[in-house]
Structure 1
């Protein structure tokens, strides 16, 4: 009988049971980017917030900040994950790549004018909330890259393409995704 973690990994397809020992697949090669906290890939500057999502991007950022800062710090990520799951359950159709990109860019533009931390986690969650307010969904991803170990969060279209992300995002393996790709008939 497999351990609970092994059983979960088998159910999700992360592990495949075998009768005989087997070699691992070769790792995927990606360029090793320098450690970044967002500023090196997204140039700073004052811009005028325009576009269909700009007016509500500040509300989405405030929502994300409230979820992560109201309550115990130890449970902040759990609260954020539950809120993301709830927002996805309220959606009725997938966002187009253009809508998803505009939402991410609206959050990014608005974040430059806020006095709080806005890194990839806050940016991706806010874009997800922003789209969910219009009943549009994306797939929220939280991933990891090795050597050095780094975490990153981003959104993808329902079809699987990262939205408004630099090429270095390919170095990350999604460890947690919220949003089912097969829920909608396109």
Structure 2
């Protein structure tokens, strides 16, 4: 009898039992991508923030920080996912690319004034919340790129257009998307 985890993986089809152990195929060679933590695409430093400070974006950022820090840290992502699902369920129509871009950029501008961490997870969630207050939907994405493993969160329109993101975001495979309920109504 296999251990409980192996039995579960076999039941779900994630593993296939074999009569004898067989080695995996050798990995395919590929060029090593340069490590990136966003610094090459979004220059940081002492720069003048342009554009107006947005009170609505500040509230959306505060909401995001509250959700992720209000209770036990190990459940922070689950709380954020539930809040994103709830906010996207209250939307009436898809946001246009310009509406979504305006929200993402408002959050980024406002985050420059914040004394706490604001990275892609906080920015994308806050932009999604900000648009939901206007009853506009976008697709919130959380994805992964391999070798080296990198995580990223971003917003895209229901048509799949990236919102205020560099083309390199296409290197990430979405592992979780929230908010595509209007996709079939277009």
Q: 1:31 to 1:160 in 2, by over 3 A?
A: farther
Task: Report the Cα distance in structure 2 between the residues aligned to 1:62 and 1:85, rounded to whole angstroms.
Answer: 18
Match of 2:164 in 1: 164
Task: Report the Cα distance in structure 2 between the residues aligned to 1:5 and 1:60, rounded to whole angstroms.
Answer: 41
Match of 2:175 in 1: 175
2:1 is the counterpart of 1:3: no
After superposition, the CA RMSD in angstroms is 2.4
Q: Is the 8 A contact 1:128 1:138 kept in 2?
A: yes
Report the Cα offset of residue 122 of structure 1.
Answer: 0.3
2:42 is the counterpart of 1:42: yes
2:33 is the counterpart of 1:32: yes
Q: 1:167 to 1:71 in 2, by over 3 A?
A: same
Report the Cα offset of residue 131 of structure 1.
Answer: 0.2
Match of 1:58 in 2: 58
Q: Is the 8 A contact 1:142 1:152 kept in 2?
A: yes
Task: Report the Cα distance in structure 2 between the residues aligned to 1:116 and 1:137, rounded to whole angstroms.
Answer: 26
After the TM superposition, which residues 114-153 of structure 1 pair with which residues of structure 2 at under 5 Å, given as runs? 114-153=114-153
Report the Cα offset of residue 71 of structure 1.
Answer: 0.4
Question: Structure 1: which 5+ runs fail to align?
Answer: 7-26
Q: Is the 8 A contact 1:33 1:168 kept in 2?
A: no
Q: Is the 8 A contact 2:33 2:148 kept in 1?
A: no
- In terms of Rg, which structure is larger? 2
Per-residue CA deviations over 1:69-103 (Å, capped at 9, x if unaligned) read 00000000000000000000010000000000010
Question: Structure 2: which 5+ runs fail to align?
Answer: 1-9, 15-27
Report the Cα offset of residue 167 of structure 1.
Answer: 1.6
Which deviates the most, 39-48 or 75-84? 39-48
Which deviates the most, 163-172 or 136-145? 163-172
Report the Cα offset of residue 31 of structure 1.
Answer: 9.2
2:159 is the counterpart of 1:155: no
TM-score (ref. length: structure 1) = 0.79
Per-residue CA deviations over 1:105-126 (Å, capped at 9, x if unaligned) read 0001111110000000000000
Secondary structure of the residue that 1:3 maps to in structure 2? helix
TM-score (ref. length: structure 2) = 0.79
Q: Is the 8 A contact 2:32 2:147 kept in 1?
A: no
